Amino acid sequence: MLYKNRFSFLLSIPCMVAIMLLALSGISITANAQTADKVIAVVGKNRIILQSELENQMAQMAQQDATLNNDSTRCEILQQMIVAKLMVEQAERDSLLVSEEEVEATLENRVRYFISMYGSKEKLEQISGKTIYQLKDDNREIIRETMLSERMSGQIMSTVKVTPAEVTTFFNKIPADSLPFFPATVELGQIVIEPGVDPEIEALARKSLEDIRKKIVAGEISFETEAGIESEDPGSRDNGGDLGTMGRNDFVPEFSAAAFKLQNGEISQIVKTKFGFHIIQMVKRQGEQAHLRHILKRPQRTSQDYNKVLVKLDSVRAQLIAGTTTFQEAVGKYATDDMSKRTGGMVTDPQTGSSTMEVDKLDASLALMLDSLKPGAFSKPHIFDRGGGDKAGRIVYMKSITTPHKANLRDDYNRIQEAALNQKKAQRMEKWLAEKLPSFYLKIDPNYVNCSSMHMLQQAQTAKTR
């Protein structure tokens, strides 16, 4: 079994997901290991796994949780790396494709993520000991294999579902003395309204950007230099306004419509979106993917703009308390931010997508409100900081809250459902491996063949010779 028992699903999911993400992370920024390297696994015709690759994954895992720095975790990571290679082999047999444009876009986005995480391109290059060009070159094939394995995995798991009856059966088979103890959780929703802007202030922001565009077009200053000085997008400003390579659907419609009309090197006219005013430069277009730069100017909101939002939210709250509208109806009618609309107003865990959040994972501003709310209650309207200097108004709704407790179906149905689904997926993966593995060449270093996590792979290999 890939998982030892039902109980392991309830506590091991975060660990196993982390292992899978690291094994398939699709980019490595770790500086080259100084220890002697060797091949520890060969999969299929010519796919190999090096000791250094495994140790890099272990180092990243240990940074997240030092308790995982052990032989058991090392074996589990190697197992997942082998399974990933097997899925790539099968994807190529099945003629699954990943385009060059998709690989480049994903590679660019992940490099940008690491630049954001470490603060600058220079810091990333210092930590990795490589230039951005070298990082991309070293990881291009890794990205391609990662995307292929993800697509193969998606095909394998596409039909795996779990019914309410299966969830109940799964839970009832867990011994009472093995039920985990869960921390406090909460379900919160919010209705977010973004402030409008005074027309005169909006006109000033537009005029400022028009002047910037004239200087760039006249050749007085480069786009990258001016972006570093003037852009109000903190995510791209320090990188010369560079947005990397992204798809048409990765941007808001107004931005995409303007950007994808541009020729290579061309600079757009002023483009207005909900974020403010932009000028866009097309660096290079490849079909439906484009490498872009932009400069953003945000019209500054005044206290009057925010007061109007609070008055509106106060009216919405009165309707909610009176019961003349439901929370879901109010979100659909009044919320102006895309995230609220996508989640029905519920605050969700970015890792799992679940609306049931552990209290200690909440944003600090939300956590501080818990003592003043009860299930079914709505907070008073208030202005909050969304990051990067962007502010909006909101009402917070508490749907439910639990204290630390032993797992039960009433309070923890979503978690138990996820655990049951993961067990079913693990069983599906075991079945797939049992069917496919005998047709692949697999060799594992003797130091790892006796790992418990390798037993199922070994059994499938043994079946091939019978």
**Tokens standing for residue 230:** 């003037």
At 334, the amino acid letter reads Y
- For 6-176+409-465, which CATH class? mainly alpha
Share of the chain above pLDDT 90, in %: 52
At 4, the amino acid letter reads K
For tokens 């997008």, the residue is 233
Dist CA 273 CA 255 (whole Å): 7
Query: Residues 236-254: what's their mean pLDDT?
Result: 87
Task: Work out the pLDDT band at 28, boundaries 50, 70, 90.
Answer: low
- C-beta separation of 28 from 139 below 8 A: yes
Residue 2 is predicted with a pLDDT of 35
Dist CA 456 CA 86 (whole Å): 14
**Tokens standing for residue 94:** 């099945």
Determine the topology of domain 199-297 in CATH.
Answer: Chitinase A; domain 3 (3.10.50)
Residue 56 is predicted with a pLDDT of 85
DSSP-assigned states of every residue in 56-89: HHHHHHHHH-GGG-SHHHHHHHHHHHHHHHHHHH
Please state, as a whole number, how many other Cβ atoms lie within 10 Å of the Cβ of residue 378: 21
Residue 7 is predicted with a pLDDT of 39
Fold match between 6-176+409-465 and 199-297? no
Dist CA 255 CA 243 (whole Å): 12
Strands (E), 215-349: 242-247, 271-273, 276-286, 289-297
Task: For residue 392, give the 3-state DSSP assignment.
Answer: strand
Point out the least confidently predicted range of 27-36, 38-47, 120-129, 264-273. Answer: 27-36
Of the candidates 343, 217, 194, the residue with the CA atom closest to the CA atom of residue 276: 194
Residue range 443-466, pLDDT digits in tens: 999 888 888 778 778 776 665 555
Task: Pick one of 2.60.40.10, 3.50.50.60, 3.30.70.1230, 3.10.50.40 as the CATH number of 182-196+302-406.
Answer: 3.10.50.40
pLDDT at 416 over 80: yes
Extents of the domains making up the chain: 6-176+409-465, 182-196+302-406, 199-297
pLDDT at 408 over 90: yes
Residue range 45-96, pLDDT digits in tens: 889 999 988 988 888 777 777 777 788 888 889 998 999 999 999 999 999 9
Measured between its terminal Cα atoms, the distance across the chain in Å is 21
Model confidence, pTM: 0.62
Dist CA 201 CA 264 (whole Å): 32
Dist CA 122 CA 124 (whole Å): 5
- C-beta separation of 320 from 378 below 8 A: yes
At 464, the amino acid letter reads K
